[in-house]
């Protein structure tokens, strides 16, 4: 049960290298190009990802649905119960009957901010970051992820929350994140490592495997630019 609680809150070998902050533009431009370029990313308006969480011998069906800059929803089927986290542009809600919740509960501010980091489908915070006065992006040295050198980027938002993104030096792909999440009123960092990158039928790149501290998410189907009703992101 503890694993389930921590997982709903979230969704190392360390070596230091010298990386100049002047390389930030090159790193981010390469990252966007690897994803297909800004024009391609701008055409991505929605995504629906279906798969499962493999953890402690269990397989938990899940679905993640997002509409660019409008809403995000995470559904899980656990022990015969339908559980979800959802958020639109004004508020977020969580309903976990597996934790004996009787009705949806409104997310606290920090938890809602954490979920909002998933709203942007057009390259996240890294597209036009210089024009976005609400965030600060900087190179925070280098690291290793699965034995491969990566650029470590530090992103600070207007609320002062700090998240870390790790971009592989060879492939240019985002291979790890450390995002601040909120659980029982306290903040902690949730790590996710991304692999098995594939191109969808519409030509968009996604990781089909995400390793977390609570298990591995495996997607078997990713659909892009599908019709999604806005009501999906609002309290039922």
Inform me whether the pLDDT recorded for 49 exceeds 90. Answer: yes
Name the helix (H) or strand (E) containing 30: helix 24-34
Q: 183: which 2 tokens?
A: 């659980």
Inform me whether the pLDDT recorded for 4 exceeds 70. Answer: no
Name the helix (H) or strand (E) containing 115: helix 109-116
pLDDT range class, residue 234, cuts 50, 70, 90:
very high
Q: How many helices (H) and strands (E) does the chain have?
A: 4, 13
- Give the burial class of 115: count Cβ atoms within 10 A of its Cβ; 0-12 exposed, 13-18 middle, 19 or more buried: buried
Give 161's contacts (C-beta < 8 A, 6+ positions apart): 110, 113, 114, 180, 187
Residues 32, 37, 39, 45, Cα dihedral to 10°: -60
pLDDT at position 21 is 45
**Which CATH number, 2.60.40, 1.10.150, 2.50.20, 2.30.30, labels domain 2-11+13-231?**
2.50.20
- Between residues 20 and 80, the one the model is more confident about: 80
Q: Taking a C-beta distance cutoff of 8 angstroms, is the pair 154, 138 a contact?
A: yes
Q: How do the domains of the chain map onto residue ranges?
A: 2-11+13-231
pTM comes to: 0.86
pLDDT at position 115 is 86
Inform me whether the pLDDT recorded for 129 exceeds 80. Answer: yes
């Amino acid at each position: 049960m503890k694993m389930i609680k921590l997982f709903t809150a979230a969704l190392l070998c360390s070596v230091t290298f010298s990386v100049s902050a002047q390389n930030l533009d090159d790193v981010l431009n390469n990252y966007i190009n690897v994803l297909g370029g800004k024009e391609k990313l701008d055409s991505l308006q929605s995504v629906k990802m279906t798969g499962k969480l493999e953890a402690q011998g269990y397989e938990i069906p899940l679905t993640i649905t997002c509409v660019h800059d409008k809403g995000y929803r995470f559904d899980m089927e656990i022990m015969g119960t339908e559980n979800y986290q959802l958020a639109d542009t004004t508020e977020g809600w969580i309903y976990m009957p597996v934790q004996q919740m009787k009705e949806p509960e409104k997310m606290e501010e920090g938890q809602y901010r954490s979920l909002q980091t998933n709203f942007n489908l057009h390259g996240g915070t890294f597209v036009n970051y210089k024009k976005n006065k609400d965030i600060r992006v900087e190179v925070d040295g280098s690291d290793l992820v699965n034995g491969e050198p990566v650029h470590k980027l530090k992103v600070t938002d207007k609320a002062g929350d700090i998240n870390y993104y790790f971009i592989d030096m060879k492939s240019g792909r985002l291979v790890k994140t450390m995002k601040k999440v909120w659980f029982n009123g306290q903040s902690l960092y949730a790590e996710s490592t991304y692999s098995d990158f594939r191109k969808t039928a519409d030509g968009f790149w996604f990781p089909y495997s995400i390793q977390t501290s609570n298990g591995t998410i495996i997607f078997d189907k990713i659909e892009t630019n599908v019709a999604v009703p806005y009501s999906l992101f609002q309290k039922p």
